[in-house]
Amino acid sequence: MNEPGRSARLAPWLVRLAAAWLLGVSLIKLFKGTPASLPPFFAEGWFGPDLNFRLSIAVELVLGLGALAAPRVFALPLAALYTLFAVVLLVLLGQGAESCGCFGGALKFPPALMLAIDGPLLLALCFSRAWQGAFERRPPLLVLALTSLAGLSAPFLLIPGAPDTGSTGDTPPARPRYIVLEPTSWIGKPLTDSILARWLDVGALPDDAHFILYRVDCDHCREVLRELERSFPDDPKVYVLVALREAGDEERRVVDLVPPGELVDLPGDVIWHITPPWEVVVAAGVVTSARSLSAQ
């Protein structure tokens, strides 16, 4: 049998290089990331931000681990994934996004810089044509099965899940890394059954009120709250202003005016995944409506 040429010997290592970078990014997302900075069209589509976030990590881990163990087998799926990355990054560049969301919010990484890394790796995969190699010894099926199982299960085992909705009395809730807030799912239910009851003493808040969920460093929240304050004398309402806190947000504060009402904060050591501001209307302790104010 002829000895494989230099380019053929190099091909599996090019695949492993691309796999190593993919694994590095996915591991940062696994241990530090949240859905907060995923591209909106990906985070909100299909199965929702939480499951999409976990599935994206699972796919990356399976392909990354698999490509390290069997470069020829996984080279083509890896190239397809890098092609998808390139398309997403080009879309984000066209939208003027400041961060690609590739690290799940753990790091802010410009789309142009990520494309400068992913692009050459994609070209290397394509030119290597490692999937055509015939000299690679096939790894045992048990190895491939174990790497796939590890990749698929890691995001669901290692990322803390959000707590169940509803109040737990005096039991302090465990701190997950992030919580996805879906106010429309609270409609028709008592506020005490919503996830807010895990983090706020809703029993001490008005039973009939307009709850406004906002961030203090959100420009659009500032404009909405200013408008609510200006219209308050003509259209007085009972407001509960719920600040979605984040570490260091006071340094970035832009909200300078709010309508009269109760001021409460959600904990700042949890990432609250929602695009504020939102208005949640509560009547007799039951959520009657919920709407996003971000498009106004």
d(CA 213, CA 3): 66
- Per-residue confidence at 90, pLDDT binned at 50, 70, 90? very high
- Per-residue confidence at 277, pLDDT binned at 50, 70, 90? very high
Neighbours of 252 (CB within 10 A): 11
**Residue keyed to tokens 């990590």:** 57
Residue 43 confidence (pLDDT): 64
Neighbours of 100 (CB within 10 A): 24
- pLDDT by residue (tens digit) across 10-57? 888 899 999 999 999 999 989 988 887 677 666 666 777 888 889 999
Token digits for 55? 């599935």
- Per-residue confidence at 174, pLDDT binned at 50, 70, 90? low
More confident residue, 259 or 108: 259
- Per-residue confidence at 1, pLDDT binned at 50, 70, 90? very low
Mean pLDDT calculated for residue range 69-93: 91
Residue 166 confidence (pLDDT): 53
Which domains, ranges and CATH numbers included, belong to the chain? 6-158 (no CATH), 178-292 (3.40.30.10)
Residue 106 confidence (pLDDT): 60
pTM of the model: 0.77
Token digits for 125? 């995969």
Mean pLDDT calculated for residue range 215-221: 93
Residue 283 in this model has a pLDDT that exceeds 60: yes
